Structure 1
Amino acid sequence: MSQTEGSSKSETRWPFTGGAMAEAIRTFNWSSTELGPIDTWPAGLLFAIDMMLGCAFPATLQWGRNLILFYNDAYIPLVGTHHPHALGQPLLSSFPEISTIYAPFAQRVWNGERIVLEDQLFHYTRNDVPEDRWFNLSYSPVHDRDGSVCGILTIGLETTAKVLAEMARSTADIRLKRILETDAVGVIFFDYTGTVVDANDVFLRMVGYSRAEIETRTITWRTMTPPEWVRASEEQMEKLEQTGRIGPYEKEYMLKDGSRRWMLFTGRDLGDNRIVEYAIDITRRKEAEAATQAMEERFRALVEASSDVIYRMSPDWKEMRQLQGRDFLADTAEPERTWLDKYIHPEDQAFVWASIQQAIKHKKIFQLEHRVLQADGTIGWTFSRAVPLFNKGGEIIEWFGAASDVSARKRAEEALLRSEKLATLGRLVASIAHEINNPLEAMSNLIYLAHRSEGLPEEARELLELADAELKRIAHITRQSLGFYRESNIPSDTSVTQLLESSIDLLRGKINTRHAMIDFRLKDDITVKAVAGELRQVFSNLLANALDALDTGGQITIRATRRAGKDGPYVSILFLDTGRGIPLETQHKIFDPFFSTKGHLGTGLGLWVTKQIVDKHRGSIRVRSRILPPTTGTVFQITLPA
């Protein structure tokens, strides 16, 4: 081997660490800069660059009064489109937009001060676009042999994602803000046996050891690692052997006084049996996390112990962020923008939204009682109350609310109101029935005398018989109202066919006025056990309602058939019209007393009386309707035991 070959192999390539930036520094034309060629650089600069490149956190070294910029591989994403042109350039010429905020920091460090910043905001251009970024930063002075400051070592962690996330979900009264607090970055050097060979003052303050104790070479990372964390540390050492890097990872560290602190570690192999590890004290963050978790557990326990619905809304209420329905309403874990249609009854949506807008406008509590669509698809009632949550600027950042199920109370109130209405109706009907009973008897006597008159035409006699039958029906109704008549207890064989025909005859005038077509066909005469007058009243009510629903020239189809069922034979009577139909949202109300779709023309009692009569005859009545063209109309089906 020649002497030249031997000397070239013994040469050491600097920087000693690997990576893109080490190679960039190694190949950069430094002769064109104020620093000059690398072989003229002071040892302090070489060592500082080696330290900076060995840091796994984003780090920079700014050398000299012009702040000539060096940075490591982890810092490349933060440089953006300025990489690699920013290398070797004055920092503030590459990033002039940060001059105002950074210059005072640099001057303080240049005066020998160590600075630690948490969630520091910088406005700068990284990828040709101005943007706001936040960082946790440590600025440390780099000293020359004479103690003067010759550079600034900066180590930082970008916290933009954390800061933005905390801004978005800040709810100060129910959540604790998770803050990562760092006093400074500790630096520790140890060899592959785990023995600590050096550390900076920050790390020594963290763990409570003196520099003299470190110099005894009796302290290892195992000395400061609790037993339950040894295995995790051993795994990081195995990773170091494979990749040359440690972490980032978290663990508890044991201080000299026996107490424990949580720390975040990252490091790398510096070569020559030397490992550097950077430590950040994250104890406060861990305590905050534990407190937040405890608070969230208490909140969940409160929700579990409560029967109320809990919900969170965006400031403008356009988005439901969360809802725990407690089996009353359907849960939603993901943001829901169609919550108004999903949860609020269609008829109540307008005034619910109007009440919300008033609450937003005045920044006051929202509270309202309204109908909701329950988890099982039925309609319920709720009392909902929400309070606004504010940021420090007094702006609403969220609404937090609870809603109680008051469906049972509302049903009880409605039943009481219906009972009171029926009681009032009963007193009114009894009074009217009492007053008209005597005139009805007089009219019956007059019809009887007219019917027995000699020479009466047959057609007139038939009309008088029909009038007499209707007067008897009216008399039956009045006597029922007064409680004097008990025909309902003794039903008799009644022809459904004849009752339907007589109902059509009674309403013939209205049928002709409407130009309605009545399609009435029965194969056989069908009979049931019933009170004839009451059943005629049912048929007349249904036929009259069908005529009211028709446009001119419409059709009503009437059918009656005898069928066999599992509980015995029954009779099915259908009234089918081609009218306007009944909206779905009101179909469940049509048999309620006093509910009418006819405005001031209806009393709201016809279908209620109809259902009472059908129920008394142990039958049932059902309705189906369609309001969408081209086919509209309604069909009522009555079934009675044969």
Structure 2
Amino acid sequence: MADPFRFLPPGGVTGAEIRAGDWAGTPLGPPDAWPPALRSALSLMLSCPTAMFLAWGPDLLCFYNDAYRPILGYRLATALGRPFREVWASIWDEIAPLVAATLAGESQTLTDVMLDLSRNGQSEQAWWSFTYSPVLDEAGAISGLFCVTAETTGRVLGEARLRESEDHFRHTVELNPQVPWTCDPQGNITSYSNRWLELTGQAPGEPEGSGWTKALHPEDLPWTVTVFTHCLASGKPVDVDYRIRVAATGTYRWMRARAQPRRDADGAIVRWYGVVEDIHDRKLAEEGLREMNATLERRVAEALAQRKLWADVFETTDALVGALDTEYRFLAVNAAYADEFEDIYGLRPSVGANLLDLLSGYPEQRAAARAVWSRALAGEEFTVAEAFGDPGRRRPYYELKFTTLRDARGRRIGAFQYAQDITERLRHQEQLARAEEALRHAQQMEAVGQLTGGVAHDFNNLLTIIRSSVEFLRRPNLAEERRTRYLEAVSDTVDRAARLTSQLLAFARRQPLAPEVFDVGARLSGVADMLNAVTGARIRIVRELPNTRCHVRADPSQFETALVNLAVNARDAMDGEGTLTLRLSCGTELPPIRGHAGAPGPFAAVSVADEGPGVAPDLLGRIFEPFFTTKAVGKGTGLGLSQVIGFAKQSGGDVEVASADGRGAIFTLYLPEVDSPPPAEVAEAAGDAEAIEERALCVLVVEDNLEVGRFCTQLLEELGHATVWAHNAEAALSEMEKAPSRFDAVFSDVVMPGMGGVELARRLRAGHPELPVVLTTGYSDALARDDTHGFELVRKPYSAEQVARALRDVLARRRSGSKERAGTLDRAR
């Protein structure tokens, strides 16, 4: 009977399994019916020693050769003749695209593909190279695929280990404090660590060739190149010291370069390997050691003359000179020291005597001597002033200078003391200090007298107007026209009195400010438009404003008042005719002014320049004093510039004056710049204020002064509001606890016995954050020191309109804030 497998090569395990298989029940049928293309492919594959497999037919039945068998692992028992997809089900997702492309007629080659083969039933990562080729039948149609494969796991892992080793070596080199380097036989640098670039500041690639020499000290370059060239020619190891410029500090440091050649089998140099190490500290230590040796040699030569030197020097100086060893024994003492010591303590010191023993009868002086000498004997050099002697006798003061005493070898063996009697000098200094203090007190009293007299004069004038007007108003049958005139006089005089107190508080930097963040340029333009009415038609106002905006945080009302005061002074200086220049500079520094240090800023500088005669040099130091004025009687109070400098200082700035005789004066107001504020919803707030004005409120009034309290409640009731009056902050809190919802706002004094108004406002804000609080005060030291309390403020004396406006403003802001929060909640929903 003919062999149906005669097309198979003889031998081989896989060939035997194919012969032993029952193929009649498979899609291939008996071997006699197998197509010639399949027979040829099987014969070729089984004869090849390279691992390969064949997938044939629609089901891609699997055949392989003996070299492929280890790859199958646990799959080997069931792989022969089974569909390729079942055999390699664990990696089918990875190889399916390759199979599809091959069956479409495209040969596929992949190298170093990582696959999880699970050859032994466990997850196993391996790398493979594949070549997939289509197999054609007799009609030229693709009937299967043929794959030649080789495992590359060993090579891939080996290369990975090599890369890791190289990376480890590179990091080791870069972390080395030394600088490894290589060069070719001609001396051209070929590699170096980044440490060289960090030290020298050279760019990558710059040190290559001979570029490294650019980092050397010019004095060391010739010698270094000579040594390097000689070693390259002779093959001897390189060992040379030179200095390089360190980029981080700009200083030079000593380095040592060493190198050894590597030779080939014939002895020819193929490369030099070297390192550069930092030896700067060692160089300095060696230099210091050489200097020390020279010093010791010199001191040995001088040691023989030292005792004579002591004797000669000690006795020719006016100072009291003594020297102690580390045990407080006298090594030397001159006659002046011994005489003074004997005069004070009744004992005469001599060489070898112990200072502490001599002072045993004076415990206080003994402790003081031990304290200062212990510092000196420990090596400290210093100067002190001390009083010595019996408290019951004369106690002179001495200036004591201590210096270290060393032997010929530089070892510390004691200390010198040089004492100068400064009793008379201190007595003169004390007398001078008392005289200066008396002068300062007299000047202060003069200033207080001037200030008190000025305040009394101005207030008496104002009170005279008020008193006279009130007396006229009491007359019966007073004409309505005259009644109106007297009432306006009283109102105007009250405003002038309020301005006077405000200016005094501004000068003392005690005025309660209401700071806001505003654009200086815009505010300055607004003031300039208003100044025409103040300065008159013959004053031409020029504005010089930058294109950029700058903002400050200050009281806008006080800012405008300061500008008006400066403009009025400028107008008067020019006799009402000339050019007044308003200039703004942003982002400037604050220069040193009147002995005060400057500041880097940024500051907004607002300058007011006039064309008047200027300020006399002898008056520059007094122009900011309160009530000081050069104007005629009745032309000025002398408080305008006091308000300007007080406002500037309290706002974190200052005022500078530049003046030249006959060429005008420039007053520059400096205020710290801040970031611009967020845009405010002005229109909505204004609408709310109009709506609030139309309805009655219930206001809790907190005022400890009975007359002011009655006036305030009456004022609010005249405005159509209901009031509840609490005489102090504690009573106000009790009213709030009774029925907090009945109050629409709180109007509270700041200065009260017990809890103050600011603390009350903060407690109300914590417990009732939606309740508006308006504060009022004539003066409060707390508000003068802290302008960040965040509450609306109405200054006394106030008018009905001022109180009404303040209530409208706070209620409008509350309503605006409530709408904004409601909108936020709606958006969140």
Q: Name the TM-score, length of structure 1 as normaliser.
A: 0.32
The structure number with the bigger radius of gyration is 2
Q: Name the TM-score, length of structure 2 as normaliser.
A: 0.26
Higher relative contact order (CA 8 A, sep 6+): 1
